[in-house]
Amino acid sequence: MFFLSLLLIGSALWIVIDLSYGRIVHLKHVRSRSFPLRQSDFHLYTYGKDLYDALFTDIKQAKHHVHVLFFIVKNDKISREFLKLLINKAQEGIEVRLLLDRFGSHYLSDEAIRSLRKHGVSFSFCHKVKFPFPFFSANQRNHRKITVIDGKIGYIGGFNVGEEYLGHNERLGLWRDYHLRLTGEGVQDLQKQFLHDWFDDTNQNLLGTSLYFPKLQPGTIQHQFIPTDGAYLQHTFLHLIEGAKKELFIGTPYFIPGKKIMNALLKARKRGVQITVLVPEKADHALVREAKFPYCRKLIQAGCNIYAFQQGFFHAKVIIVDDYICDIGTANFDMRSLYINHEINCLLYDKHFIQTVKNKFHEDLENASLLSFKDVSPLSLIDRGKEWIGTILAFFL
């Protein structure tokens, strides 16, 4: 018993040291990055079927290359259809590269991977476990979702590939998400980010290949892509919150903002900003629902409105500041996206498009219920225990 206790204590200490020093070393090599302001044309998708119809059609029409990065591709019907489409394009002679997060896409079978490679699809997983900090590196996930077709069409947003994103998960029901399709100048930045990630994981440097960067005409919507690698996302969120003058809308599946961002939200409320947060009623991961309760209680006490989406599962990642800026991307409003995951977000500065996003957000609010302080105050001992554990483990949820 003594040796077992010693082993458990030693393992816990090793994990803490691994995480702490792994992050310190990582931060020494990470720099704040952002792409230039660009002009592109955008379309917003909020339902999986509509997105897949457009995405699959664009891939079918590809003439030179298809570059795809997802956090999750599963081993279900729609995933197999997607992988078959990539194989078909590769057999046509189109360059196809598929980059998947190792953790998020763990359901993908070895047989499927062998088939992809056999039929000409260049495939790699992201983020191999690295020493001397294996636990920290295993927790770093490439959460970006990027597709680039012929260097002319780009996709970015919250959807992955799987049946649940079509609303076919009986427990979660309808899946609501925000995903962008763009044409115009900004596609080159998504291409650069994909090729940067591809180089990191395959050591194949294609960033200087001009064929992947055709001449692009500017669109009508000003925007900027912000990639983050487990750092500096907090700066972006703080900038958005501190810039709010009248109203701030936040939509996220996981609301675990941490102390600094929470303080910024409370300060914004004190200066008169109306804050509305939309989260799902259901949870797709253990403890994330309970981990958000302490933050929700503070915001409700401060006069903020917290809504729980009732018509299925809300997975969108969106921030709307007044009428002048909107953020849509892959980053959740939680500590994992802020401090561990690799993400990419798009800041949009067009009033008309922002109004389109705001209209969608209000549609979602109509399918949500306003939470009271009591709703986010667990009464049972089990629920209080879940909240306590969720608070401790918030960094990893």
Percent of all residues in the chain with a pLDDT value above 90, rounded to a whole number: 74
Of the candidates 74, 143, 292, 342, the residue annotated as catalytic is 143
DSSP string, 166-194: GT--TTT-SEE--EEEEEETTHHHHHHHH
- Please confirm, yes or no, whether 239 is among the known catalytic residues: no
Of the candidates 18, 58, 150, 177, the residue annotated as catalytic is 150
Same domain, 179 and 269: no
CATH number at residue 81: 3.30.870.10
Task: Output the pLDDT for position 282.
Answer: 84
> Does residue 302 fall inside a structural domain?
yes
**Interval 238-264: pLDDT, tens:** 999 999 999 999 999 999 999 999 999
Tokens representing residue 392 in the block: 């401790």
25 pLDDT exceeds 70?
no
pTM of the model as a whole: 0.94
Amino acid at 261: I
Q: Choose one of 220, 255, 270: the last residue of a domain.
A: 220
Cα–Cα distance for residue pair 269/396, rounded to 1 Å: 28
Identify whether the C-beta of residue 127 lies closer than 8 Å to the C-beta of residue 102: yes
Three-state DSSP at 377 gives coil
- Cβ-based neighbour number of residue 354 at 10 Å: 19
- Model confidence band, residue 354 (pLDDT cutoffs 50, 70, 90): very high
Q: Choose one of 203, 220, 237: the last residue of a domain.
A: 220
Identify whether the C-beta of residue 347 lies closer than 8 Å to the C-beta of residue 224: yes
Of the candidates 74, 179, 223, 317, the residue annotated as catalytic is 317
212 pLDDT exceeds 90?
yes
Task: Output the pLDDT for position 157.
Answer: 98
Task: Output the pLDDT for position 33.
Answer: 78
Q: Taking Cα atoms as reference points, which of 134, 142, 58 lies closest to residue 100?
A: 142
Of the candidates 67, 179, 292, 315, the residue annotated as catalytic is 315
Tokens representing residue 386 in the block: 């879940």
Q: What is the overall mean pLDDT for the chain?
A: 90
Q: Choose one of 173, 201, 220: the last residue of a domain.
A: 220
Identify whether the C-beta of residue 320 lies closer than 8 Å to the C-beta of residue 354: yes
55 pLDDT exceeds 80?
yes
> Does residue 317 fall inside a structural domain?
yes
Same domain, 202 and 232: no
Same domain, 207 and 235: no
Cα–Cα distance for residue pair 70/78, rounded to 1 Å: 14
Of the candidates 145, 223, 292, 342, the residue annotated as catalytic is 145
Beta pairing partners, 100: 70, 125
- Please confirm, yes or no, whether 315 is among the known catalytic residues: yes
> Does residue 358 fall inside a structural domain?
yes
Classify residue 93 by burial, with Cβ atoms within 10 Å: 0-12, 13-18, 19+: exposed
Tokens representing residue 35 in the block: 């792409």
How many domains does the structure of the chain reveal? 2
- How much is the average pLDDT of 344-372? 97
Q: Give the pairing of strands 221-229 and 38-45.
A: antiparallel
Same domain, 183 and 252: no
Task: Output the pLDDT for position 256.
Answer: 93
Beta pairing partners, 279: 308
Three-state DSSP at 344 gives strand
Identify whether the C-beta of residue 346 lies closer than 8 Å to the C-beta of residue 189: no
106 pLDDT exceeds 80?
yes
Any idea which of 13-17, 57-61, 186-190 has the lowest mean pLDDT?
13-17
- Cβ-based neighbour number of residue 260 at 10 Å: 12
Cα–Cα distance for residue pair 353/364, rounded to 1 Å: 17
> Does residue 301 fall inside a structural domain?
yes
Identify whether the C-beta of residue 373 lies closer than 8 Å to the C-beta of residue 294: no
Contacts of 91 (CB under 8 A, 6+ apart): 119, 120
- How much is the average pLDDT of 154-178? 96
Contacts of 218 (CB under 8 A, 6+ apart): 38, 39, 40, 184, 185
If one compares 321 and 170, the residue with the highest pLDDT of the two is: 321
Task: Output the pLDDT for position 231.
Answer: 81
85 pLDDT exceeds 70?
yes
Task: Output the pLDDT for position 138.
Answer: 72
Q: Which domain holds residue 292?
A: 228-396
Of the candidates 41, 76, 284, 322, the residue annotated as catalytic is 322
- Please confirm, yes or no, whether 150 is among the known catalytic residues: yes
Same domain, 198 and 257: no
18 pLDDT exceeds 70?
no
- Please confirm, yes or no, whether 110 is among the known catalytic residues: no
- How much is the average pLDDT of 195-204? 95
Same domain, 379 and 283: yes
- How much is the average pLDDT of 353-363? 97
Task: Output the pLDDT for position 21.
Answer: 58
Same domain, 211 and 233: no
Same domain, 71 and 188: yes
Cα–Cα distance for residue pair 169/167, rounded to 1 Å: 6
Any idea which of 233-237, 287-291, 354-358, 373-377 has the lowest mean pLDDT?
287-291
- Please confirm, yes or no, whether 285 is among the known catalytic residues: no
Task: Output the pLDDT for position 172.
Answer: 92
- How much is the average pLDDT of 228-237? 90
> Does residue 166 fall inside a structural domain?
yes
- Please confirm, yes or no, whether 360 is among the known catalytic residues: no
Task: Output the pLDDT for position 385.
Answer: 72
8 pLDDT exceeds 60?
no
Same domain, 114 and 247: no
Any idea which of 13-17, 79-83, 107-111 has the lowest mean pLDDT?
13-17
- Model confidence band, residue 209 (pLDDT cutoffs 50, 70, 90): very high
Task: Output the pLDDT for position 4.
Answer: 57
